[in-house]
């Protein structure tokens, strides 16, 4: 249907013209479009396909003069460095070059073309600009997809920087012109579409039977057949005969013409009709995409999959695959090293059970026909701009928010914790907690330490007992279906001792990013914590996972110690729930491998990079303390510290892991030293350029106290009691924070540039003074003043930490001479290096220097004032002054480029609450707020009176933020002990006795 002059003109129902746009990302979109197009053509309509995919994808399934193929690429999808690696920065850059820069000419061309073919309906899968072009041409448009590019690119912006946000917004605005969305199974959150119609799987039909295909290949039913379907192969990789078990053959899709294959591998022609070969196989080995998953489910084919990094569609499809018992996850390094056998043998034992309809192509085609002749599926006539404002929320702008969108399947929120307001600290136990304490005593014999009656520790111990399914066969039937639970259930030998540790996250009250410049910081350990359970096991007694067992047998080393880790909550960030490695991989001869080599080792598989935070603690202990690990290690990580919210989830994992490993091996490491060792994990193995305050707070913190520390490098001054009339809260903005992100690192580089400039500026006059023939006091005629200047310049010329420069001295001597911005190349030419061992200057990047230099100098002063004010006389003036210091800190972050729309909004809400007539009438309840930690999203810290009204106001802010953004903030309240105060538990399972 066309819209001419504002009036709807219905096309003849017997002959319609469809313009079908296909995204430039992979074959999966083209292959599913084939099935929809086929049904439209069977109904007698013309379809013009706009695509960058090869013509054979369509012509191999459709032989009709009503099919028109126009080879045009209007978007680029996700740019892949190889078959498994998405390049986020390259994706945004390519999209900008493909769709943003030439946008005006694209729109003009597409509008002219749509009018020339007299299109009745524009269909997009899922090209954003097609929807806008349709609107400009006066033609209705519909999208058919399981994900949208605004959702995929939203997380890429975190790596690329905020200046790319306009890409996400433009894509969402384009989609908002679409009439409605035909949504396919395995869908992602797609908030740009408000009207949705769900259809069954769109799957290509079969041309030949399993028997016919096998006969053509000369393969009998006694041969096991795996189809290798990656849409390309990992770079520099060669298939080998020993990768397959005996009696197996492999069909290879997408092999190059020149590629040589072993005799048990068969190369499929490029124009082969893949569905026939999929249905004729016994399992598939590949990466997850809509095409591979839908056809594996439709033909009940077990799917051995390897995770891709940074493609947000994957967890949704993976869940659908595993829900129908059709998936086996393969570790990437086992794929690349050819340890396929345990995965393939596991796959053929599965019985996939997808019994839903697979006629989505037919159903979608009928809906498209109805829409083209005038049927209205949309629920409202709202304008595109109005729907956009209603659809896109602030919390989604830079971060997919698990469990927060109504369109997200329930499973995606399973591991999310929703907290309401609670008391300030965990001092009392509920009846349920008392029951758990009693239950833990019955389940475990406590050989050392105390659970301190902490509710989260009691819950963890109870969940640990539930893993012993042999002695509790009637418990946790539902949990046993979860892959994480299955893996964890086989970790421990229940007859042996298990060591348990706990380390909290932290709320950055004051100090933040000034820690790496040597500032005083004030940090509060929060209620949420990470628990780790560790067991040392003699290698011959360890229960290995099947792929680890296969690796061990292939190496022929029965006594090799193996590290096996299970991490709960993996689905929240699309990471693998398990990790294993031979501990000998950490050795090069008789010496530990260098940190840089370990960094590369963990970075090879982004879905398992999280293991660097845990396993990296072992390498640091080997390198720094000379520890050698001859026993295997089984380790379970369960963290309630939310990731990406600026409360140091990574430090809590590191501290809890190292504490547990140290306890299990009899290492006596002080909390301070342990924190410094954990910082090495983060800096050198993970590769995040953080200071040490996070690890220090997690290790050395105390309940309801602020850890006061001078970061030069880590001098703990003590603990500052939080006055009884003062209370702190953390409010999560919903915008994901990462200290590994580009913004945090660039500000750190700018800070160290500033320090180098200051020391160089001080060195020049000092050299002139010291080289003068006359004594300094005679040169200027004032002995005392010159001597002081020499001493002052000497201190500033050798400035180790920028925070040791006072604000007045900075303003008097240096502020006006430090450049606002500086190109990395220009700095390196003049100063050679910036003397920071954990960051590298990019010569082509421009760094903000002035604001990054100023912030830590003034922040150090603010923190000192804050600490002094905490012990001042109780008054509103005291709270007002504390709040003002927090506000100043917040806006200093913004000046450095580390702010975010979400955190700014929360701070503004606190200000509005503070300045309301009601608050003033009550002499104030909330007094200040600031962004925390590394900035660029995450959480804000709020200070207020410790009273009921303050809690009510925090709840009101939570609701107002949700109303404005669609995101319901996580509230951090209360405190708990650091790892040092908690110590460790040594427990042994109480096994049931046989009664006569």
Domains and CATH numbers, the chain: 17-200+365-396 (3.40.50), 210-357 (3.40.50.2000), 445-470+478-709 (3.30.230.10), 742-765+791-973 (3.30.70.890)
Give the model's pLDDT for residue 782.
Answer: 44
For the cut 60, the answer to whether the pLDDT of residue 556 exceeds it is: yes
What digits encode the pLDDT tens for the residues 161-180? 556 778 888 898 899 899 99
* Mean pLDDT value across residues 587-610: 90
For the cut 50, the answer to whether the pLDDT of residue 632 exceeds it is: yes
Give the model's pLDDT for residue 355.
Answer: 92
Give the model's pLDDT for residue 277.
Answer: 96
* Mean pLDDT value across residues 759-767: 87
Please, are residues 616 and 593 in contact by the beta-carbon 8 Å criterion?
Answer: no
Give the model's pLDDT for residue 133.
Answer: 97
For the cut 60, the answer to whether the pLDDT of residue 419 exceeds it is: no
Give the model's pLDDT for residue 401.
Answer: 33
> Catalytic residues, which ones?
694
- Which of these ranges, 131-135, 316-320, 763-767, 930-934, has the smallest mean pLDDT? 763-767
For the cut 80, the answer to whether the pLDDT of residue 881 exceeds it is: yes
How many CB atoms are closer than 10 A to CB 656? 34
Element of type H or E holding 280: none
- Averaged pLDDT of the chain: 86
- Which of these ranges, 417-431, 722-736, 811-825, has the smallest mean pLDDT? 417-431
Give the model's pLDDT for residue 169.
Answer: 82
| Integer CA distances (angstroms), 975 to 423, 426, 894, in order | 10, 7, 28
CA gap 461, 979 in Å, rounded: 17
Residue 738: band (very low, low, confident or very high) from pLDDT cuts 50, 70, 90 = low
* Mean pLDDT value across residues 639-643: 89
- Compare 992 and 897 and report the one with higher pLDDT: 897
- Map tokens 């896109």 to a residue: 392
* Mean pLDDT value across residues 882-909: 94
- Which of these ranges, 363-377, 438-452, 763-777, 886-900, has the smallest mean pLDDT? 763-777
For the cut 70, the answer to whether the pLDDT of residue 311 exceeds it is: yes
Report the percentage of the chain scoring pLDDT > 90: 60
Give the dihedral sign, CA 471/476/478/480: negative
For the cut 60, the answer to whether the pLDDT of residue 412 exceeds it is: no
Give the model's pLDDT for residue 594.
Answer: 96
CA gap 75, 100 in Å, rounded: 9
Give the model's pLDDT for residue 410.
Answer: 27
829-835 contacts at long range (C-beta below 8 A, 24 or more positions apart): 831/753, 831/756, 831/757, 831/760, 833/756, 834/749, 834/752, 834/753, 834/755, 834/756, 835/752, 835/755, 835/756
| 3 state SS of 384 | helix
- Map tokens 């990296």 to a residue: 616
For the cut 50, the answer to whether the pLDDT of residue 6 exceeds it is: no
Closest alpha carbon to 143 in 83, 79, 208, 75: 75
Please, are residues 21 and 114 in contact by the beta-carbon 8 Å criterion?
Answer: no
CA gap 579, 681 in Å, rounded: 17
For the cut 60, the answer to whether the pLDDT of residue 785 exceeds it is: no
| Integer CA distances (angstroms), 711 to 469, 691, 941, in order | 47, 8, 21
- Compare 996 and 841 and report the one with higher pLDDT: 841
Residue 475: band (very low, low, confident or very high) from pLDDT cuts 50, 70, 90 = low
For the cut 50, the answer to whether the pLDDT of residue 384 exceeds it is: no
Residue 734: band (very low, low, confident or very high) from pLDDT cuts 50, 70, 90 = confident
- Compare 266 and 257 and report the one with higher pLDDT: 266
- Enumerate the β-bridge partners of residue 444: 989
How many CB atoms are closer than 10 A to CB 209? 12
CA gap 260, 268 in Å, rounded: 13
Give the model's pLDDT for residue 861.
Answer: 97
* Mean pLDDT value across residues 588-615: 91
Please, are residues 681 and 653 in contact by the beta-carbon 8 Å criterion?
Answer: no
- Out of 847-861, 913-927, 934-948, the most confident range is 847-861
Give the model's pLDDT for residue 474.
Answer: 60
The CA radius of gyration of the chain, in Å to the nearest whole number, is 31
164-168 contacts at long range (C-beta below 8 A, 24 or more positions apart): 164/92, 165/397, 165/398, 167/92, 167/95, 167/96, 167/100, 168/397
- Compare 658 and 469 and report the one with higher pLDDT: 658
What digits encode the pLDDT tens for the residues 319-329? 899 889 999 99
Residue 158: band (very low, low, confident or very high) from pLDDT cuts 50, 70, 90 = low
Residue 283: band (very low, low, confident or very high) from pLDDT cuts 50, 70, 90 = very high
CA gap 512, 145 in Å, rounded: 42
Give the model's pLDDT for residue 791.
Answer: 84
- Enumerate the β-bridge partners of residue 85: 82
Give the model's pLDDT for residue 643.
Answer: 82
What digits encode the pLDDT tens for the residues 30-57? 989 999 999 999 999 999 999 998 888 8
Give the model's pLDDT for residue 745.
Answer: 86
The encoded tokens of residue 788 equal 């002081």
How many CB atoms are closer than 10 A to CB 192? 29
Report the percentage of the chain scoring pLDDT > 70: 87
- Which of these ranges, 627-636, 691-700, 784-793, has the smallest mean pLDDT? 784-793
Phi and psi of 217, rounded to 5°? -80, -10
For the cut 80, the answer to whether the pLDDT of residue 404 exceeds it is: no
What digits encode the pLDDT tens for the residues 92-102? 889 999 999 99
Strands 7-9 and 2-4: antiparallel
Helices 314-323, 290-298: axis angle to 10 degrees equals: 10
The encoded tokens of residue 602 equal 């963990």
Q: Is the peptide bond between 798 and the residue preceding it cis, with omega within 30 degrees of 0? A: no
Closest alpha carbon to 732 in 425, 419, 318, 264: 419
- Enumerate the β-bridge partners of residue 529: 504
For the cut 90, the answer to whether the pLDDT of residue 77 exceeds it is: no
CA gap 188, 400 in Å, rounded: 10
| Integer CA distances (angstroms), 131 to 124, 125, 144, 361, 500, in order | 7, 10, 12, 21, 55
What digits encode the pLDDT tens for the residues 507-541? 999 999 999 999 999 999 999 999 999 999 999 88
Closest alpha carbon to 802 in 756, 771, 749, 736: 756
Chain-centre distance for alpha carbon 720:
34
pTM of the model: 0.78
- Show the 3-state SS of 79-97: CEEECCEECHHHHHHHHHH
Element of type H or E holding 314: helix 314-323
| Integer CA distances (angstroms), 135 to 17, 131, 389, in order | 16, 6, 18
How many CB atoms are closer than 10 A to CB 242? 12
- Enumerate the β-bridge partners of residue 303: 284, 327
DSSP 994: P
């Amino acid at each position: 249907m066309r819209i001419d002059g504002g009036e709807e003109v219905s096309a003849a129902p017997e002959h319609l013209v469809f313009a079908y746009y296909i995204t430039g990302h992979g074959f999966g979109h083209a292959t599913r479009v084939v099935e929809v197009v086929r049904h439209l053509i069977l109904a007698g309509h013309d379809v013009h396909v706009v695509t960058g995919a090869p013509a054979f994808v369509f012509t191999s399934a459709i032989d009709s003069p009503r099919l028109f193929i126009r080879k045009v690429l209007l978007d680029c999808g996700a740019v892949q460095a190889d078959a498994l690696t998405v390049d986020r920065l390259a994706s945004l850059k390519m999209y900008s070059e493909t769709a943003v820069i030439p946008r005006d000419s694209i729109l003009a061309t597409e509008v002219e073309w749509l009018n020339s073919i007299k299109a009745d309906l524009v269909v997009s899968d899922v090209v954003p600009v097609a929807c806008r072009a349709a609107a400009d041409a006066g033609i209705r448009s519909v999208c058919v997809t399981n994900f949208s590019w605004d959702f995929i690119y939203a997380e890429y912006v975190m790596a690329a920087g905020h200046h790319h946000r306009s890409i996400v917004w433009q894509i969402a605005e384009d989609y908002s012109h679409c009439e409605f969305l035909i949504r396919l199974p395995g869908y992602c959150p797609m908030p740009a579409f408000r009207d949705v119609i769900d259809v069954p799987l769109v799957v290509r039909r079969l041309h030949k039977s399993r028997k016919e295909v096998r006969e053509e290949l000369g393969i009998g039913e006694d041969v096991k057949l795996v189809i290798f379907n990656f849409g390309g192969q990992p770079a520099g990789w060669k298939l080998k005969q020993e990768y397959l078990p005996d009696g197996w053959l492999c069909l290879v899709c997408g092999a190059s013409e020149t590629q040589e294959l072993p005799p048990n591998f068969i190369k499929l022609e490029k124009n082969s009709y893949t569905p026939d070969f999929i249905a004729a196989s016994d399992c598939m080995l590949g990466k997850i995409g809509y095409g591979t998953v839908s056809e594996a489910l439709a033909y009940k084919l077990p799917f051995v999959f390897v995770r891709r990094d940074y493609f947000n569609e994957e967890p949704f499809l993976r869940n659908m695959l595993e829900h129908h018992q059709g998936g086996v996850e393969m570790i990437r390094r086992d794929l690349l090293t050819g340890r396929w056998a345990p995965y393939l043998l596991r796959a053929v034992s599965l019985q996939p059970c997808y019994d839903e309809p697979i006629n989505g192509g037919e159903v979608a085609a009928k809906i498209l026909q109805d829409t083209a002749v005038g049927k209205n599926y949309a629920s409202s006539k709202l304008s595109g701009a109005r729907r956009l404002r209603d659809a896109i929320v602030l919390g989604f702008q830079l971060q997919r928010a698990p469990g927060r969108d109504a369109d997200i399947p329930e499973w995606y929120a399973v591991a999310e914790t929703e907290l309401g307001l609670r008391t300030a600290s965990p001092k009392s136990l509920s009846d349920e907690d008392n029951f758990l304490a009693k239950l833990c005593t019955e389940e475990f014999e406590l050989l050392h330490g105390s659970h301190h009656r902490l509710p989260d520790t009691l819950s963890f111990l109870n969940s640990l007992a539930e893993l012993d399914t042999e002695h509790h066969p009637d418990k946790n039937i539902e949990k046993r279906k979860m892959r994480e639970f299955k893996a964890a259930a086989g970790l421990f030998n229940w007859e042996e001792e298990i060591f348990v540790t706990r380390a909290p996250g932290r709320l950055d009250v004051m100090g933040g990013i000034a820690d790496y410049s040597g500032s005083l910081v004030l940090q509060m350990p929060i209620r949420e914590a990470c628990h780790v359970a560790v067991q040392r096991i003699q290698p011959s007694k360890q229960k290995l996972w099947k792929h680890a067992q296969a690796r061990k047998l292939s190496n022929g080393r029965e006594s090799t110690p193996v590290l096996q880790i299970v991490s709960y909550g993996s689905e929240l960030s699309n990471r693998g729930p398990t990790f294993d490695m031979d501990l000998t991989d950490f050795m090069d001869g008789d010496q530990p491998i260098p940190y840089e080599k370990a960094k590369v080792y963990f970075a090879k598989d982004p879905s398992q990079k999280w293991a660097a935070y845990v396993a990296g603690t072992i390498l640091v202990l080997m390198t720094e303390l000379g520890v050698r690990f001859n026993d295997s290690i089984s380790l379970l990580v369960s963290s309630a510290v939310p990731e990406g919210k600026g409360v140091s989830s990574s430090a809590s994992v590191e501290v809890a892991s190292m504490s547990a490993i140290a306890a299990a091996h009899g290492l006596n490491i002080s909390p301070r030293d342990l924190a410094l060792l954990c910082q090495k994990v983060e800096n050198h193995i993970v590769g995040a350029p953080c200071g040490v305050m996070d690890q220090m707070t997690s290790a050395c913190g105390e309940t309801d106290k602020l850890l006061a520390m001078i970061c030069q490098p880590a001098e703990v001054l003590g603990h500052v009691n939080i006055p009884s009339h003062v209370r702190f809260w953390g409010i999560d903005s919903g915008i994901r924070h990462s200290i590994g992100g580009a913004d945090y690192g660039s500000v750190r580089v700018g800070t160290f540039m500033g320090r180098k400039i200051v020391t160089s500026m001080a060195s020049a006059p000092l050299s002139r003074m010291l080289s003068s023939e006359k004594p300094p006091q005679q040169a200027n005629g004032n002995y005392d003043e010159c001597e002081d200047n020499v001493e002052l310049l000497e201190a500033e010329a050798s400035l180790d930490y920028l925070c040791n420069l006072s604000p007045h001295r900075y303003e008097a001597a240096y502020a006006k001479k430090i450049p606002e911005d500086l190109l990395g190349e220009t700095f390196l030419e003049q100063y050679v290096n910036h003397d920071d061992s954990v960051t590298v200057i990019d010569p082509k990047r421009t760094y903000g220097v002035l604001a990054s230099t100023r912030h830590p100098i003034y922040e150090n002063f603010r923190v000192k004032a804050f600490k002094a004010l905490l012990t001042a006389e109780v008054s509103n003036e005291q709270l007002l002054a504390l709040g003002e210091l927090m506000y100043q800190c917040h806006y200093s972050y913004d000046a450095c480029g580390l702010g975010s729309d979400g955190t700014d909004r929360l701070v503004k809400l606190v200000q509005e609450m503070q300045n309301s007539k009601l608050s003033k009438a009550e002499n104030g309840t909330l007094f200040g707020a600031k962004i925390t930690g590394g900035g660029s999203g995450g959480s804000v810290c709020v200070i207020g009176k410790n009273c009921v009204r303050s809690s009510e106001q925090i709840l009101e802010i939570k609701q107002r933020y949700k109303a404005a953004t669609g995101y319901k903030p996580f509230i951090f309240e209360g405190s708990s002990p650091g790892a040092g105060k908690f110590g460790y538990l040594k427990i042994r399972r109480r096994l049931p006795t046989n009664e006569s």
